[in-house]
Amino acid sequence: MLVDCVLDLGPEGVLLASTAGLLRCEGDTTTVVPLPYEEMGGLEVDYVVKGRGDTLWCFGHYGRLVAWTPRGARVIPFHPPASSLAPTVTSVGLDENGALWVATFEGLFRVSGTRVDYFDEGAGLPSAWINDVLVDRDHVLWVATEGGLCKLSQPGVRNYVARDGLPVGAVWAIAELPGGRVCLGTNKGIVVVDTSGAPTVLTSRNGLPEEAIVDMEVGEDGSLWVLGFNQVFNWKEEKFISYPYAPFQRIILSSILPVSSDEIWVGTAAGTYVLDVRTHTFCPHPMMSQIRGSPRVRRLVRSHHGGAWVLGSRLWRWSPDGSVEEVEPPFGTDVGAIMVVLECDDTVLVGTTEGLFIKEGAEWRRVDLGDRFPFEVVRDRGGAFWLGCNEGIARVAGDSVSVFGTYDGVALVEANTNAAILARDGRVWFGGRNVTVIDPSQVHRPKDQAPLVVEAAVGTRLAWLPTGVTCEPGARSVELRLACPSFSNEQEMAFR
């Protein structure tokens, strides 16, 4: 019998992961833990680690992972995407949410419930040969690889970049199909990401009428309505149907909104047009006669009460009775260009180039985002708002604002309008320069900045500040040393 791993349970004895199964040793007694060995493909257990509560995670030799409790067990496939064999486990870390981070010689795995995510060089690791993992007290994940040391501050973040199958680095639109597939619109086709995270690119070779995508929305029947640079088309049952309209060859198209199965709105630089799906005809929307100023429409957004928001040079709200109301800017000030509107319950969020404004009841308030401004806003299941900004991503929950950038593992450099969704699994997708997917349940707020440590020396004397150092007349040298002990948000340290 070969023993690969030993786990000390204290008073409950010792567990041995061996070629004869998972053995429990208590005093002079050794028993076999009743794992589902048949489903595991054999008795061999390579590694065992304790999870939350009374859960034991057992790594079988034949590509199966078992979550075992005295009440039962569940078996999860556990192997790299290109192999059916179990990788060699070198270390396991448990994060604050109960997820396992598994280091192997063939990549890094994250196990949460029955979901298994895989990370290798394509996900940004310098090497897929992982020697060790550690989750520290600040919930930062450290990964020791053959190619160097990596830090992951936000384990709930996943990215898609060019090396992951994106035909370009920019995504202009995102939509989710009823089955859970996510579509990414680029200027070189549509990338369809399946539920396992694998991308497939649709181009003209697959019948795509136009590869440059401006916007996408899912209709009532579950089909995908797509707005290209010059035309509208629909994707249903893996087939594309075009709805050409000659005037669209000469004007800028910006937004698409399926109002019903037979009526599709298109926002353009010349106003809003309506597509009658039954007759394949377009006509100007009657509401344009009620809109003052420039007819240009930047975005069309569905409202909470069955109407629609029209974002142009001003902000308009269309009601199902056909009336159009202009919404005055908050505080009566110039809020800049209006980029996005989100309405939920009695709350309205307006994102502009001057920041984020929130209306709760009859009162407006401005959220301080620093130099950032939002292109997209999504509300997660916990009620927090996620913003795709000109610089990274921000989270707004009440009066609290958290910012996530490249130091947090976010590949999104700048978000785009039309490119954000809350998916059915609760994750938030943002597109722009690269794509970032965030699981709000797995993201923790950065801790407040650690206390600044300052020491000063005048001549040969060294003292801590602010206890005080006296600089006498004639002193020729003053030395200041500053440090802020933090591994979780060191990029936010500011020295003044």
Tokens 């010792």 correspond to 14
Q: What percent of the chain has pLDDT over 90?
A: 46
Q: How does residue 136 score in pLDDT terms, banded at 50, 70 and 90?
A: confident
On whether residue 448 sits in a domain, the answer given is no
CB 4 within 8 A of CB 45: yes
Pair 146, 166 in one domain: no
Pair 59, 115 in one domain: yes
Give the pLDDT score at 282. 97
On whether residue 429 sits in a domain, the answer given is yes
When comparing pLDDT for 163 and 415, which is higher? 415
Mean pLDDT over 57-85 rounds to 88
Q: Is 470 left (phi over 0), alpha (psi -120 to 50) or beta?
A: beta
Pair 417, 473 in one domain: no
Tell me the helix, strand and coil percentages in the chain, rounded to 5. 5, 50, 45
Pair 220, 356 in one domain: yes
Pair 309, 252 in one domain: yes
When comparing pLDDT for 467 and 376, which is higher? 376
Tens of pLDDT, residues 157-215: 777 777 666 777 689 999 999 999 999 999 899 999 998 778 899 999 999 999 999 99
When comparing pLDDT for 456 and 346, which is higher? 346
Length of the chain: 496
**Of the residues 91, 122, 154, which one is the last residue of a structural domain?**
154
Mean pLDDT over 129-142 rounds to 86
Q: What percent of the chain has pLDDT over 70?
A: 86
Pair 61, 168 in one domain: no
Give the pLDDT score at 434. 86
C-alpha distances out from residue 57 to 9, 44, 65, 78, 139, Å: 13, 14, 7, 12, 21
Q: How does residue 294 score in pLDDT terms, banded at 50, 70 and 90?
A: confident
Pair 394, 410 in one domain: yes
Q: How does residue 15 score in pLDDT terms, banded at 50, 70 and 90?
A: very high
Give the pLDDT score at 335. 64
Pair 271, 399 in one domain: yes
279 is written with which tokens? 């007759």
On whether residue 86 sits in a domain, the answer given is yes
**12-21, 119-128, 309-318, 485-494: the lowest-pLDDT one:** 485-494
When comparing pLDDT for 73 and 96, which is higher? 73
Q: How does residue 125 score in pLDDT terms, banded at 50, 70 and 90?
A: confident
Give the pLDDT score at 458. 57
Q: How does residue 446 score in pLDDT terms, banded at 50, 70 and 90?
A: low
Residues 178-206 as b/e (b if ≥16 CB within 10 A, e otherwise) read eeeebbbbbbebbbbbeeeeebebbeeee
Q: Is 77's pLDDT higher than 70?
A: yes
On whether residue 447 sits in a domain, the answer given is no
Q: What is the pTM of this model?
A: 0.72
Q: Is 425's pLDDT higher than 80?
A: yes
Q: Is 479 exposed, middle or buried (0-12, 13-18, 19+ CB in 10 A)?
A: exposed
Q: How does residue 374 score in pLDDT terms, banded at 50, 70 and 90?
A: very high
Q: How does residue 483 score in pLDDT terms, banded at 50, 70 and 90?
A: low
On whether residue 274 sits in a domain, the answer given is yes
Pair 332, 302 in one domain: yes
**Of the residues 133, 154, 175, which one is the last residue of a structural domain?**
154
Mean pLDDT over 12-20 rounds to 92
**221-225, 316-320, 359-363, 490-494: the lowest-pLDDT one:** 490-494
> How many domains does the structure of the chain reveal?
3
249 is written with which tokens? 């060859």
When comparing pLDDT for 204 and 1, which is higher? 204
On whether residue 307 sits in a domain, the answer given is yes
CB 170 within 8 A of CB 212: no
Mean pLDDT over 458-474 rounds to 57
On whether residue 146 sits in a domain, the answer given is yes
When comparing pLDDT for 335 and 246, which is higher? 246
On whether residue 405 sits in a domain, the answer given is yes
Mean predicted lDDT score pLDDT of the chain: 85
Q: Is 30's pLDDT higher than 60?
A: yes
Give the pLDDT score at 153. 67
Give the pLDDT score at 196. 79
Give the pLDDT score at 324. 92
When comparing pLDDT for 220 and 81, which is higher? 220
**Of the residues 95, 119, 154, which one is the last residue of a structural domain?**
154
Pair 412, 473 in one domain: no
Pair 150, 289 in one domain: no
Domain interval for residue 22 = 3-154
Pair 180, 303 in one domain: yes
**24-28, 193-197, 467-471: the lowest-pLDDT one:** 467-471
DSSP state of 38: H
347 is written with which tokens? 């709350």
CATH number where 134 lies? 2.130.10.10
